[in-house]
Amino acid sequence: MRILAGIVAVTALLLFVRPAVGQERIRIAWAGDSPANSPIWVVQEKRLLKKQGLDGEVIRINASPTALQALLAGEVDVIVTSVTTLVSSRLAGADIVMTLGMVPTFVDHIISLPAVMGVEQLKGKIGGVNRLGSTSDLGLRLALRKLGMDPDKDMKIIATGGNTERLAAISRGIVQFTIMPEPFVREAEKLNFKDLLDIGSLKIPFWWNAVLTRENIIKAKRSVMLKFARAMVEAVHSIKTDKEGSKTIFSKNLRLTDPEGLERAYRAYTAVFPENLMPTPDGVKTMLDDLAPRNPKAASADPKSFVDMSFVQEMEASGFIKQLYKR
């Protein structure tokens, strides 16, 4: 059975253009309603794949595990998701590799009940994450450890679902704190919850969002992958230089009209998108170090083997990125 068959959300949000003569084809899946995915939104809105001579099919999938399954099944060529997907799958033997790095640190905030006066008061309380083992789970645990707490002993962490569901969980008293990025931080504040900590301020290296593919796809479609990389780098340039146009695209994809929420989301992500999208291994190392005590393969793995920097290096050598930024 095909992984993508029967997924209503995918069918509804599929961008498909009948192939033009001479165009090479690429299928891309992205997961999660987050501005971290905004470069792929811009690629769609501004038809940057077509500009690169590609016939593109861009598919929205609700969850990263489903996107990974589609990639492994050969149903898509590229997925846009977090490094947790990359590390877990490659350690299990898959030939998954990161070709572009999009968000190189955590952009989440710890949100709590108003009565919580500081992070030390999270001890003994219940926190909510998307699912155990997810990016939100890892981000919360790494942050708590860096702040001197033991997330396995000092508090209880449970799975409560996506950002909207986590906001509902804290509203209903199921949890006393949670983790979420903008623009959901803004929504939480409007409900009088406290923005307790910007985890990004802790400067933890981590690829919160990245472009992943398979090594066999790179070998078979290298020219296609390079053109896709150019489209993504151009999309980031557009986000950084066209604020109002980008906020319009954010609004459409997030279904968000609150001006302050849009402004905060735009600022948060524009600040962290690398201009060149270089997929450095340091963010991979953070996750390998976290897994090492429980997984011998993680302890011996080389972070450099998880990334392919050649596409960005080729774009830099050709002057493509300098030309975009007119340097």
Q: Give all domains of the chain, ordered by start, each with its CATH number.
A: 8-105+207-324 (3.40.190.10), 109-202 (3.40.190.10)
pLDDT confidence of residue 16: 42
pLDDT confidence of residue 268: 94
Cα-based distances in Å from 295 to 138, 219, 281, 287: 15, 30, 19, 11
DSSP letters for 32-43: SSSGGGHHHHHH
What is the Rg, in whole angstroms, of the alpha carbon atoms belonging to the chain? 19
Return d(Cα 53, Cα 165) in angstroms, integer: 40
Return d(Cα 225, Cα 223) in angstroms, integer: 5
pLDDT confidence of residue 19: 46
243 in helix, strand or coil? helix
Higher pLDDT: 17 or 275? It is 275
Return d(Cα 95, Cα 306) in angstroms, integer: 9
Residue among 129, 133, 145 nearest 179 (CA) = 129
Count of residues for the chain? 327
Return d(Cα 166, Cα 164) in angstroms, integer: 5
Round the average pLDDT of the chain to a whole number and report it: 91
Return d(Cα 262, Cα 266) in angstroms, integer: 6
pLDDT confidence of residue 10: 42
| Lowest mean pLDDT, pick from 58-67, 219-228, 238-247 | 58-67
Cβ atoms 54, 251 nearer than 8 A: no
| Lowest mean pLDDT, pick from 13-22, 92-101, 151-160, 280-289 | 13-22
Phi then psi dihedrals of residue 302, to 5 deg: -95, 115
Q: What's the pLDDT band for 14 if we cut at 50, 70, 90?
A: very low
Calculate what percentage of the chain has a pLDDT beyond 90: 84
Only one residue has tokens 């492994």, namely 72
pLDDT confidence of residue 169: 97
pLDDT confidence of residue 94: 95
Cβ atoms 17, 56 nearer than 8 A: yes
Model pTM score: 0.89
Return d(Cα 155, Cα 173) in angstroms, integer: 15
Instruction: Find the helix packing angle between 310-318 and 222-241, rounded to 10°.
Output: 70
Return d(Cα 77, Cα 63) in angstroms, integer: 17
For 183-231, write each residue's pLDDT tens digit: 999 999 999 999 999 999 999 999 999 999 999 999 999 999 999 999 9
Cβ within 8 Å of residue 98, ≥6 positions away: 83, 86, 207, 210, 211, 212, 279, 284, 306, 307, 308
Calculate what percentage of the chain has a pLDDT beyond 70: 93
